Amino acid sequence: MMKRSLPGLLLLCLFTATPAGAQQMPASCQAELDSLGEARLKVINRINGFSKKRPTAQQACAAFGELVASEAKMLKWMQDNQDWCRLPEALIANFKEGSQQAVKARGQACTAAKRQAAGGGGAGGPRGPVPGGGVRLPQGAL
């Protein structure tokens, strides 16, 4: 039995749901799409690992930047090869819409990284406590 990757399974499901007589994707297309999907999946797995080991804002920004770049490359390939590879328009539209979530997450992570670098990372940032930033003074007799 041939092992299929996540993108391949997704496309297989879409093609089996098409009307009778529709042709399958050429093997070369499947191989290229699988390769792009595997590269994307590696980045996604690394990001999913952030739940176990919290990254710095810089690391998160870089990881989401890689994801956005990977998805942009995959989307461009899908658009460029749509006719030859018989990719449904809905697949490309859904992928494009879903990749906007990565763009949004990258924006948030990179904004946090810029704030951290500028010293606005909160009360305990590199410049020390911010006045009124939640620092508690000792109470009682000194």
Question: For the segment 24-35, what is each residue's pLDDT rounded down to a tens digit?
Answer: 888 889 999 999
Where does the pLDDT of residue 137 fall: very low under 50, low under 70, confident under 90, or very high at 90 and above?
very low
Cα–Cα distance measured from residue 34 to residue 48, given in angstroms and rounded to the nearest whole number:
20
Q: Which domain holds residue 84?
A: 28-118
Total structural domains in the chain? Answer: 1
Identify whether 73 is part of a domain.
yes
Where does the pLDDT of residue 23 fall: very low under 50, low under 70, confident under 90, or very high at 90 and above?
low
pTM exceeds 0.75 for this model: no
Q: Note the pLDDT tens digit of each residue in 80-94.
A: 999 999 999 999 999
Distances (CA, A) of 50 to 53, 61, 75, 102: 5, 12, 25, 15
Identify whether 39 is part of a domain.
yes
Q: Is 72 exposed, middle or buried (0-12, 13-18, 19+ CB in 10 A)?
A: middle
Name 106's Cβ contacts closer than 8 Å, sequence gap at least 6: 61, 64, 65, 67, 68
Identify whether 10 is part of a domain.
no
Identify whether 54 is part of a domain.
yes
